[in-house]
């Protein structure tokens, strides 16, 4: 479809930036289009917690004036984006900070939010997340409103896939970027821990929380990372490593790349792994091979227990982070969050230490594996999107106790890209997951881009 015939809410950032720069697309009109779309669609989807309509239009007017005056600030200038409620936006309530929906207002932008603003992005608002207080509606999957977008209230995946923002920021402690992105047909990126600032992000688990983007295509991940990644002195875990020019990685070339597949681990999950997901991921791997990569089996003995320490560390750090307000939190929080507080409150010192020792082993095994391979490839999900009706609010917590495809990479803090590899028989998205060694985003972006350009799954949009 030519850009002229594409609805503006289906434009990618990479497409819109050229139109904005050449003044063929007005950031004000673009923003107004997204606000109208939110108005007409989000009543069914429930992805936004708060929409900043007036502020967003004001920001778009500023961006437009700057561009008309000849100042173009880069690919995100005038681009409407949204962030998960977990991110502080100055002056807006942060419901997830657990003090009731309107009691707490952030006084400062999260670093990532400030960087988006600095790049000229337009902030449309805050998106739902699981565990928020109050009787909020469940977020629906834009591919089928009867299905979940990856959690009871997971706004970023649903909003981005439905064209209610051009990109969103999510947060991944045990798969919460990759899972909604996979179930919504998006590209999701969990960066190396320390690469993207967590300052101004409400903590779930300090050592597992990863901030990252969800977009429609790999190019847009590169544009978002270029702005949000990089050292932040306000985050004590931020790493002062040089920042590559991410869009330079967007070349279709996989020759010489070795892709490792953890066959034993995938076999381990088979009783709970949907066979159609396996078929679609296998097909994607064959396509990667046909594009020049070499596939190799890789054995990672500790992977089979690597989800569990992630769950233990998550529960313990979550409880520790909220220990002094636990009474109030138990009254204000959803069941999943209350349950995690209960788990974290159980006697835990030796458990936490054992979890960290297993973490060391897992990291060591990954490091050894990446001396032989460039990328690890595996499914991004065990199952397609579940139906909303009848889903146990504690399902994610149970899932976190058994081998899965998300937790091990939070535990090892490795950069991970998931991207669509097809639709299943019910026309719900399925995703492939690619993992690289720390800070090797360029390899991931190149592999993801090469596959995406070949498979073209981005051409199909949800029916909403």
Partner 1 sequence: METPDRQSLILLLKQAGIEPDDDDLERFRPLIEQYLEALGELHSFDVSDEEIAPTFRPQWSVKK
Residue whose C-alpha is closest to residue 49's, from 166, 128, 146, 152: 128
CA distance 298 to 108: 45
- CA-CA distance, 27 to 77, in Å (whole number)? 8
Catalytic annotation present for 152: yes
Q: How far is the CB of 316 from partner 1 (least distance, A)?
A: 11
Please list, in sequence order, all residues whose beta carbon lies within 8 angstroms of the beta carbon of residue 399, skipping any fewer than 6 positions away. 382
Is 360 considered catalytic here? no
**In whole angstroms, how close is the CB of 401 to partner 1 at the nearest point?**
5
Q: Of 118 and 134, which CB lies nearer to partner 1 in the complex structure?
A: 134
Element (H, E) at 228: helix 218-228
* Measured distance CA(291)–CA(285) in Å, rounded: 10
Q: Going along 136-184, which residue ranges are E strands? A: 167-172
| Contact predicate 120/74, CB 8 Å | yes
Q: Exactly one of 106, 130, 176, 182 is catalytic; which is it?
A: 176
Q: Do residues 435 and 414 lie in contact, with contact meaning Cβ atoms separated by under 8 Å? A: yes
464 closest CA partner among 164, 246, 116: 164
In this complex, which beta carbon is closest to partner 1, that of residue 126 or of residue 359?
A: 359
Q: Which is nearer to partner 1, 2 or 371 (CB)?
A: 371
Q: Verify whether residue 290 is a known catalytic residue.
A: no
Q: Which is nearer to partner 1, 323 or 456 (CB)?
A: 323
- Cβ of residue 346: shortest distance to partner 1, in angstroms? 6
Residue with tokens 């930036």: 17
Q: List residues near partner 1 by CB under 8 A.
A: 302, 305, 308-309, 311-312, 315, 319, 323, 326-327, 330, 335, 338-339, 341-343, 345-347, 350-351, 353-361, 363-364, 367-368, 370-372, 374, 394, 397-398, 401, 437-438
In the complex, what is the shortest distance from the CB of residue 375 to partner 1, in angstroms, rounded to a whole number? 11
416 three-class SS: strand
Q: How far is the CB of 313 from partner 1 (least distance, A)?
A: 10
| CB of 39 or CB of 368, closer to partner 1 | 368
d(CA 306, CA 61): 48
Q: Where are the alpha helices (DSSP H) in 324-464?
A: 326-332, 335-345, 349-369, 395-399, 407-411, 441-455
User: Contact 390/146 with Cβ under 8 angstroms?
Assistant: no
Given 47, 152, 184, 333, the catalytic residue: 152
Exactly one of 26, 47, 84, 190 is catalytic; which is it?
Answer: 84
User: What's the half-sphere exposure (Cβ side, CA atoms, 13 Å) at 224?
Assistant: 33
**Cβ 52 to partner 1, closest distance in Å?**
35
Instruction: List strand residue ranges (DSSP E) for 102-246, in order.
Output: 122-127, 167-172, 187-190, 210-215
Q: In this complex, which beta carbon is closest to partner 1, that of residue 7 or of residue 301?
A: 301
Joined together, the tokens standing for residue 239 give 């790493």
Q: Work out how close the CB of 258 gets to partner 1 at its nearest, in angstroms, rounded to a whole number.
A: 8
Strands in 286-424 per DSSP E: 294-297, 375-379, 416-423
CB 132 within 8 A of CB 121: no
Q: How far is the CB of 338 from partner 1 (least distance, A)?
A: 6
- The nearer residue to partner 1, 136 or 345, going by C-beta atoms, is 345
Residue nearer to partner 1 on the CB measure, 62 or 339 = 339
Strand 167-172: give its sheet, edge to edge: 48-51, 122-127, 80-84, 167-172, 210-215, 187-190, 416-423, 429-435, 375-379, 258-261, 294-297
Residues with catalytic roles:
84, 152, 176
């Amino acid at each position: 479809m030519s850009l002229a015939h594409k609805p503006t809410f289906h434009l990618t950032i990479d497409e819109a930036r050229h139109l904005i720069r050449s003044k063929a697309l007005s950031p004000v009109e673009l923003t107004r289009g997204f606000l109208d779309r939110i108005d007409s669609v989000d009543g069914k989807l429930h992805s936004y917690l708060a929409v900043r309509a007036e502020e967003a239009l004001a920001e778009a007017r500023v961006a437009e004036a700057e561009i008309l005056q000849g100042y173009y600030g880069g690919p995100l200038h005038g681009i409407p984006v949204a962030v998960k409620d977990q991110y502080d936006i100055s002056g807006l309530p942060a419901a997830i900070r657990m003090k009731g929906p309107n009691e707490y207002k952030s006084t400062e932008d999260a670093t990532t939010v400030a960087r988006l603003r600095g790049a000229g992005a337009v902030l449309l608002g805050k998106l739902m997340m699981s565990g928020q207080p109050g009787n909020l509606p469940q977020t629906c999957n834009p591919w089928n409103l009867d299905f979940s977008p990856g959690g009871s209230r997971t706004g970023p995946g649903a909003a981005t896939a439905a064209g209610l923002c051009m990109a969103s920021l999510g947060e991944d402690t045990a798969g919460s970027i990759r899972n909604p992105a996979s179930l919504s047909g998006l590209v999701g990126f969990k960066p190396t821990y320390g690469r993207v600032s967590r300052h101004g992000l409400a903590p779930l688990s300090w050592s597992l929380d990863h901030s990252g983007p969800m977009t429609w295509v790999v190019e847009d991940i590169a544009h978002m990372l270029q702005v949000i990644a990089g050292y932040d002195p306000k985050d004590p875990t931020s790493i002062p490593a040089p920042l590559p020019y991410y869009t330079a990685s967007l070349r279709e070339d996989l020759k010489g790349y070795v892709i490792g597949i953890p066959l034993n681990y995938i076999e381990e999950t088979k009783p709970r792994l949907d066979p159609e997901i396996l078929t679609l991921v296998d097909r994607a791997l064959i396509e990667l091979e046909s594009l020049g990569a070499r596939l190799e089996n890789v054995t990672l003995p500790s992977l089979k227990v690597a989800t569990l320490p992630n769950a233990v560390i998550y529960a313990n750090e979550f409880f520790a982070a909220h220990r002094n307000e636990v009474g109030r939190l138990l009254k204000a929080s959803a069941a999943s969050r209350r349950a995690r507080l209960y788990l974290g409150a159980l006697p835990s010192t030796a458990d936490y230490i054992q979890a960290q020792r297993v973490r060391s082993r897992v990291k060591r095994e990954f490091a050894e594996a990446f001396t032989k391979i460039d990328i690890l490839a595996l499914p991004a999900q065990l199952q397609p999107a579940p139906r909303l009706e009848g889903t146990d609010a504690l399902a994610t917590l149970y899932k976190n106790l058994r081998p899965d495809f998300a937790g091990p990479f939070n535990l090892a803090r490795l950069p991970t890209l998931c991207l669509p590899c097809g639709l299943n028989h019910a026309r719900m998205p399925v995703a492939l997951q690619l993992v690289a060694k720390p800070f090797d985003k360029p390899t991931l972006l190149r592999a993801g881009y090469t596959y995406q350009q070949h498979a073209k799954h981005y051409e199909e949009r949800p029916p909403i």
